[in-house]
Chain A
Amino acid sequence: MNTFLAALFSGTSRGAIFALVALGLVIVWRGAGIVNFAQMGQAMFSTYIASTLITNGNSYWVGFFVALFAGAAMGALLDILVMRPLSNKKKTELLSSDSMRAAVPVIASLGILGALQALAGILWAAEERGFPAPAKQEGFTFGSNVMPFTAFDLFVISLVALTLVITTLFFKKTGIGLAMRATALNQEVAKLSGIRTNRTRTLSWAISGAASSLAGLLITPTSNLSPNTLDLVLIVGFTAAVVGGLDSPAGAVLGGFILGMVISFVTFYDTPEDVFLSILAVLLLVLLIRPRGILGSKDVRRV
């Protein structure tokens, strides 16, 4: 029973973080038609920035907000410097086919991932370091029992829930949110409506960058920080996004929690070594049964 509860709680708080990562991927996918494999590289980098600030005597929250901002700025820069020039470059020989047009941005994002990881190695060495949590990481006590649920878990879950509510409201209720959705759904009509699609797309990258930086800040207290620690998180986030449906923000959240549970239960009841294989199994299963994901729409056309 206790194992079950522990797995459930850990699955919830991990799932919340994976939901954020998946949401970051979905936002860029919808906005720009690109899966950003550099996403967790950006998160790693901004978490290092936070770590440096904090070890130099700044408060956790200074590091926290600077990291979110850095994540957003990196996302925006990545779009402006790399992805936008690439999408304006339709006529080169290599980009002449649809399949290569899909492949080349992926290659570019892998290059960015590599560059960020190498740069982090140069700036901060490759050794793992810890990253602080803003709340206690010991389980709540209930009478004489220690519950498998910590103040930090609570912090993670409430922060992620807050973020999800804010992003949902932003997309549904604000003009910029509407402009971003319109750009993602139909660029031509968006442009004809006077929406500056280049800017809204850059904004998608920035929001996604901030969301994934938040994920980085929330996961590193339990996983430590090194240039490569977040690679696994990207894989899980990608799988979560595909499980939920790459074009569905709600699906991303659902997928995140599913993956959180799967990983947590495999870890508690089987062995951590099977985590990768279970992720692969979930991914292949979904791709075979429902390639568009659980909440992915069948014929939403991206432009």
Chain B
Amino acid sequence: MLKIENLVTKFGSVVALDGVSMTAHESKITTVIGANGAGKSTLLRTISGLEHPAQGAITWQGESIVGRRPEDIVRLGIAHVPEGHAVISELSVEENISMGSLFRRRKFKSDIAKAMDEMYQLFPRLQERRKQLAGTLSGGERQMLAISRALVSRPQLLLLDEPSLGLAPLVVEQIIDSVNTLCRTTGLTVLLVEQNANTALGVADHGVLLALGKVVADRPAAELKADENLRAAYLGY
């Protein structure tokens, strides 16, 4: 379980997160929705250690992770897929995936090949393109690659930042489906950031609505999806 209390993150004078409290429950999909600039990405980046909070607590499985470095936080089982199909274009597909498992190569050597295979099973299109440079992939394939890079570290918590960005609905559905299946079959905990509220709330168990760095709603996903007033007020549709 990931528990966030009163989290404040600033960029100079810009307060991106202004006292956020929320929880991501074990083996559930929690989605964070909100308009552009609401602070969704900043929330994930603060959890994974890329940004340092000015205040507040982040507790993961009973342990505080504030102030740790990103490379240590991955080792605690939190994998982050940042916004914008973050893969390294100059490396091959295979190298991008195996990069995510490098830190496990001492302790879990025998598991690495297996984990890589699982990624190729999850996204067979990547297997066909194993030797290709990541820069030559399509947007959807890149997003699959970015997710594989994160999953190959066998995380317990997956932070997923706008996987739908710039992708066709069909591809989005495929990706979200894969994540959903993983969550249901392996017990992975997912924190999914989306602007596309309908898609996200459709698969999520729980929804958190963020506006200007503050939580304005924190409810079961179905309930949030049905609340037309909230939607009109904060998402504009």
Residues of A that sit less than 8 Å from B by CB: 175, 178-179, 181-182, 185-186, 188-197, 297, 300
Contacts and interface: CB of A to CB of B under 8 A. Distances in A.
Contact of A186 (B48, B79, B88, B150): B88
A195 B50 contact: no
A303 B118 CA distance: 31
A193 B74 contact: yes
Given A192-B48, A192-B70, A193-B149, A175 B102 contact: yes
B50 A193 contact: no
A290 to B, nearest CB: 20
Interface residues of B, number: 27
Contacts, number: 68
Given A189-B149, A191-B50, 5 more contacts: A192-B70, A192-B82, A192-B150, A193-B103, A194-B153
Interface string B47-89: 0111000000000000000000111001100011010001110
Contacts of B79: 192
A297 B133 CA distance: 14
A181 B88 CA distance: 10
Nearest to B81: A192
A85 B71 CA distance: 19
Contacts of A194: 71, 74-75, 100, 102-104, 153
Interface SS, A side: helix
Contacts of B69: 191
Nearest to B95: A178
A178 B98 CA distance: 9
A192 B102 contact: no
Nearest to B90: A185
Contact of B102 (A185, A186, A188, A193): A193
Interface string B90-131: 110001001110111100000000000000000000000000
Interface of B: 48-50, 69-71, 74-75, 79-80, 82, 86-88, 90-91, 95, 98-100, 102-105, 149-150, 153
A195 B102 CA distance: 7
B17 to A, nearest CB: 19
Contacts of A193: 74, 99-100, 102-103, 149, 153
Nearest to A247: B90
Contacts of A189: 82, 86-88, 99, 149
A190 B74 CA distance: 11
Contact of B99 (A182, A188, A300): A182
Contacts of B105: 175
19 contacts: A175-B105, A179-B99, A185-B91, A189-B87, A189-B99, A190-B88, A192-B48, A192-B70, A192-B74, A192-B86, A193-B99, A193-B103, A193-B149, A194-B75, A194-B100, A194-B104, A195-B71, A195-B102, A195-B103
A195 B96 CA distance: 12
B90 A300 contact: yes
A182 B99 CA distance: 8
Contact of A188 (B75, B82, B91): B82
A185 B88 contact: yes
Which of B71, B74, B79 is the most central at the interface, judged by chain A CB atoms within 10 Å of its CB? B71
